[in-house]
């Protein structure tokens, strides 16, 4: 098959998605290592098709993949939410990867191996699978690229024999690790669902040095810590995050990076499972907004249900009331006045959101309560409503809808602050109605047209509108628009002092709930557990003077039960114990 690619950039409509793609390709053409062309079909691929030959365009390889309905279904069934990667290491090094079994003595809960991997094999595997290897990597999720570390590059080029000594190596996880015994020792021959949890920069740097600098990598060895995990979704996810947090890294990784296991994340999920939304429109059933703490939870919750159970689940948790963590980040950051960040895409926006949550949680976790959840859902309802509103405007000509929506809502928030400094939008109105009031929709319709005119103004600093919307300068220009809100908007506002009173009440309620949850956790552990904790902290000489009374009560349950204050002190002590090596049962 002869490959023929002819692109006339001038003929591409600047407002089309193709123009954005072309802009990305042109901007990054010097960095592009491979093009991957994916064909999605609802048919079945013929069994006679085994592979497609790799083509080349402008010196860059082009790989072709067909995703038929069977392959898509397999990925859907995969608990990880991604296609499992199977690697045969004997394709990259003669006998596989030499390793030592470093699993804990007498502990069969996991297996861990210390490995020495040839640098060329690391680069080969990365060239073959690319970013798929890094989907479990914190930085890969939070950033759109894995940076090539200059120090690593210097070592590769200048001191390759010292790479093993200088570099922190790779931390990885996999399932179904196959070990072969040879006279020389143990070798890992193959793995499934291989994920690089830490060491993305090392991996990318080796591949790039070979590609751009013609480095041979023949003298380079990389240390790898491989942990074999089971396929259980929640257990695997938590373990991967713990490994990622604990592994050494050449750059600081903040707690915000580990947002998927952050207490905020879990609390919002818990609230979403217990809190019903108001029934509207004559509906006879209360419904919930289902918050996905991990991708695929909504579908996985239904997989083992009977037909009647599934129908009941869908009645209480309708699909249109599914909200993901990136949806939440988009709605919240828009209202915070960051439409330019939202316009950068889900990953960049989520990173900003995670850092904000991490900082705010450390100040007062009680601020994240049922009211916060209700207001977040209200903002999401507002977001979805404006999406539909823009779509049906006579002035809308397909293009930039996502930018128009986030900028319009952010502009509304900005104008309310400046024109009504003692009032704020009453988001409880939206929650109670589960819809957007007409007066608010009318106002946003006007703002949306003004936003479109602003972001497409011919005098803008960047020709490509989508790229322009990612600049803070674009937001500053939109904020400077001379617009007066309609007087009718006052009907959906609430006095700031009243809003603060409600917020304080919600924080107080959350404090009570947190106390009850802490009590339940402490009591469920049982008195014997706390006696073992007491022995452990005494043995390790961990100071616990402030928790001594609480620990005494816990050790003597059920004669007396610890109150919420005692329970929170005990959980704090437990954290200290864990940091000193205590293993939670």
Residue 2: inside a domain:
no
Q: Average the pLDDT over 115-138 and give the result.
A: 83
Q: Average the pLDDT over 198-214 and give the result.
A: 86
Reported pTM: 0.65
- Say yes or no to pLDDT of 495 above 80: yes
Per the prediction, the chain carries an average pLDDT of 84
Backbone dihedral angles phi then psi of residue 356, each to the nearest 5 degrees: -65, -45
Percent composition of the chain: helix, strand, coil (DSSP 3-state, to 5): 55, 15, 30
DSSP one-letter string for 182-220: ETTEEEEEEEEEEEEEE-HHHHHHHHHHHHHS----TT-
260 versus 419: the higher-pLDDT residue is 419
> 3-class DSSP state for residue 425?
strand
Residue 431: inside a domain:
yes
Both 340 and 466 in a single domain?
Answer: yes
Both 362 and 429 in a single domain?
Answer: yes
Q: Average the pLDDT over 569-574 and give the result.
A: 89
Domain boundary among 42, 60, 77: 77
Both 281 and 392 in a single domain?
Answer: yes
Number of domains in the chain: 4
104 versus 292: the higher-pLDDT residue is 292
pLDDT at 76 (0 to 100): 65
- Say yes or no to pLDDT of 338 above 60: yes
pLDDT at 231 (0 to 100): 57
Buried b (16+ CB within 10 A) or exposed e, 136-149: bbbbbbbeeebebb
- Say yes or no to pLDDT of 470 above 90: yes
The span from the CA of 315 to the CA of 307, in Å, is: 12
Domain boundary among 202, 230, 253: 253
Q: How are beta strands 55-57 and 60-67 bridged, if at all?
A: antiparallel
- The CB density around residue 539, as the number of other CB atoms within 10 Å, is 9
Both 422 and 507 in a single domain?
Answer: no
Both 301 and 354 in a single domain?
Answer: yes
Say if residues 294 and 240 touch (Cβ distance below 8 Å). Answer: no
Both 401 and 437 in a single domain?
Answer: yes
> 3-class DSSP state for residue 97?
strand
Both 408 and 541 in a single domain?
Answer: no
Residue 325: inside a domain:
yes
Q: Average the pLDDT over 157-173 and give the result.
A: 91
Both 154 and 303 in a single domain?
Answer: no
What would the two tokens of residue 130 be?
A: 């690319």
The span from the CA of 416 to the CA of 184, in Å, is: 72
- Say yes or no to pLDDT of 580 above 80: no
Both 230 and 249 in a single domain?
Answer: yes
Domain boundary among 477, 496, 515: 496
238 versus 202: the higher-pLDDT residue is 202
pLDDT at 179 (0 to 100): 94
Residue 154: inside a domain:
yes
Both 327 and 344 in a single domain?
Answer: yes
How many Å separate Cα 247 from the centre of its chain? 19
129 CB-side CA count, 13 A = 23
Residue 397: inside a domain:
yes
Residues with Cβ within 8 Å of 335's Cβ and at least 6 positions away in sequence, in order, are 379, 409, 410, 413
Both 348 and 294 in a single domain?
Answer: yes
- Say yes or no to pLDDT of 519 above 60: yes
Percent of the chain at pLDDT above 90?
A: 46
Q: pLDDT per residue over 375-434, tens digit each?
A: 999 999 999 999 999 999 999 988 899 999 999 999 999 999 999 999 999 999 999 999
Range of the domain at 320: 267-496
Confidence of residue 5 (pLDDT cuts 50, 70, 90): very low
Residue 3: inside a domain:
no
The span from the CA of 559 to the CA of 542, in Å, is: 26
Both 228 and 163 in a single domain?
Answer: yes
Residue 327: inside a domain:
yes
Confidence of residue 147 (pLDDT cuts 50, 70, 90): very low
- Cis status, amide bond into 558, omega within 30 of 0: yes
Residue 258: inside a domain:
no
């Amino acid at each position: 098959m002869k490959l023929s690619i002819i692109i006339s950039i001038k003929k591409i409509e600047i407002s089309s998605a193709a123009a954005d793609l072309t802009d990305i390709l042109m901007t990054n053409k010097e960095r592009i290592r491979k093009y991957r062309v994916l064909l999605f079909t609802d048919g079945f691929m013929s069994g006679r098709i085994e592979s497609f030959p790799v083509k080349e365009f402008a010196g860059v390889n082009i790989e072709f993949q067909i995703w038929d309905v069977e392959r898509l279904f397999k990925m859907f069934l995969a608990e990880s939410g991604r296609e499992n990667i199977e690697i045969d290491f004997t394709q990259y090094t003669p006998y596989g990867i030499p390793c030592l079994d470093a699993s804990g003595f007498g502990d069969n809960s996991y297996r861990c191996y210390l490995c020495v991997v040839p640098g060329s094999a690391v680069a080969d595997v990365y060239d073959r699978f690319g970013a798929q290897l890094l989907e479990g990597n914190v930085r890969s999720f939070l950033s759109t690229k894995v940076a090539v570390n200059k120090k690593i590059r210097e070592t590769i080029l200048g001191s390759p024999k010292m790479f093993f000594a200088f570099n922190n190596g790779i931390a990885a996880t996999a399932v179904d690790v196959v070990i072969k015994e040879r006279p020389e020792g143990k070798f890992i021959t193959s793995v499934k669902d291989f994920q690089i949890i830490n060491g993305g920069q090392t991996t990318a740097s080796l591949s790039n040095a070979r590609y751009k600098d013609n480095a041979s990598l023949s003298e380079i060895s990389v240390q790898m810590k491989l942990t074999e995990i089971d396929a259980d979704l929640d257990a695997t996810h938590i373990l991967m995050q713990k490994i990622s947090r604990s592994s050494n890294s050449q750059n600081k990784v903040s707690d915000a990076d580990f947002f998927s296991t952050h207490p905020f994340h879990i609390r919002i999920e818990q609230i979403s499972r217990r809190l019903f939304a108001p029934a509207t429109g004559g509906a006879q059933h209360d419904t919930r907004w289902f918050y996905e703490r991990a991708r695929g939870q909504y579908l996985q919750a239904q997989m083992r249900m009977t037909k009647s159970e599934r129908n009941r689940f869908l009645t209480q948790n309708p699909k249109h009331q599914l909200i993901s963590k990136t949806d939440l980040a988009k709605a919240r950051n828009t209202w915070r006045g960051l439409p330019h960040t939202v316009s950068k895409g889900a990953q960049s926006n989520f990173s900003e959101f995670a850092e904000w949550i991490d900082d705010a949680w450390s100040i007062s976790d009680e601020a994240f309560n049922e009211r916060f959840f209700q207001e977040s859902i209200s903002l999401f309802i507002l977001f979805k409503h404006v999406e539909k509103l823009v779509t049906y405007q006579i002035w809308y000509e397909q293009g930039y809808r996502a930018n128009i929506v986030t900028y319009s809502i952010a502009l509304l928030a900005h104008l309310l602050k400046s024109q009504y400094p003692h009032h704020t939008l009453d988001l409880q109105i939206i929650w109670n109605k589960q819809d957007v009031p007409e007066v608010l929709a009318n106002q946003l319709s006007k703002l949306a047209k003004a936003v479109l005119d602003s972001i497409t103004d011919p005098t803008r600093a960047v020709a490509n509108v989508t790229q322009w919307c990612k600049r803070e300068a674009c937001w500053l220009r939109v904020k400077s628009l001379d617009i007066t809100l309609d007087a009718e908007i006052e009907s959906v506002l609430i006095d700031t002092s009243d809003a603060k009173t409600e917020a304080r009440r919600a924080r107080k309620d959350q404090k009570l709930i947190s106390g009850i949850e802490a009590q339940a956790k402490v009591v469920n552990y049982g008195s014997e557990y706390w006696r073992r904790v007491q022995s452990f902290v005494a043995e390790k000489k961990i100071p616990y003077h402030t928790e001594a009374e609480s620990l005494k009560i816990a050790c003597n349950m059920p004669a007396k039960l610890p109150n919420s204050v005692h329970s929170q002190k005990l959980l704090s002590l437990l954290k200290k114990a864990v940091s000193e090596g205590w293993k939670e049962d």
